[in-house]
Amino acid sequence: MAKDTVRYPDEVVDEIDTLVDDGVFESKSEFYRFSAEYVLALVSDDWEPETFNYGEIRDELDLQEEPVLIGADGGRDFLNAVITVRQLGLRNDFDEAEQFIDENYETTDRSGMILEELLRVYRDRAENGSTSGV
Q: Any idea where the domains of the chain sit in the sequence?
A: 10-61, 73-131
- Predicted structure pTM score: 0.49
The DSSP symbol for 59 reads H
pLDDT tens digits for 3-44? 778 888 888 899 999 999 999 899 998 898 888 888 888 777
Residue 4 burial (C-beta neighbours within 10 Å; 0-12, 13-18, 19+) = exposed
pLDDT tens digits for 100-127? 999 988 888 888 889 999 999 999 888 8
CB proximity list for 123: less than 8 A, separation 6 or greater: 89, 94
